[in-house]
């Protein structure tokens, strides 16, 4: 007999919170790159460090 629970387990909530935090950090990183990525690349190119891009 299966039991129908109306609540999420603590592990599910923890996984969802971690996924939301990861998505927020990735979004902020992407927004920062779109805002000043060209400037960072040109600075690295002038210093000779742009080979890794």
Give the residue-averaged pLDDT of 18-41: 94
Neighbouring residues of 16: CB distance < 8 A, sequence distance ≥ 6? 8
Q: Is-contact 50 41, C-beta < 8 A?
A: yes
How many angstroms separate the CA atoms of 51 and 45, rounded? 8
- The arithmetic mean of pLDDT across residues 32-48, rounded, is 88
Has residue 11 got a pLDDT over 70? yes
| Predicted confidence band of residue 53 (pLDDT cuts 50, 70, 90) | low
Distance of alpha carbon 38 from alpha carbon 19, whole angstroms = 29
Give the CA distances from residue 15 to residues 1, 24, 29, 49, 51, in Å, rounded to whole numbers and listed in that order. 27, 14, 21, 38, 37
* pLDDT band, very low/low/confident/very high, at 13 (cuts 50, 70, 90): very high
């Amino acid at each position: 007999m299966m039991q129908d629970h109306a609540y999420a387990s603590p592990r599910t909530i923890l996984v969802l919170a971690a996924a939301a935090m990861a998505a927020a950090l990735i979004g902020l990183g992407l927004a920062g790159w779109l805002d000043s990525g060209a400037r960072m690349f040109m600075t690295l190119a002038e210093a000779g460090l742009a080979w890794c891009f």
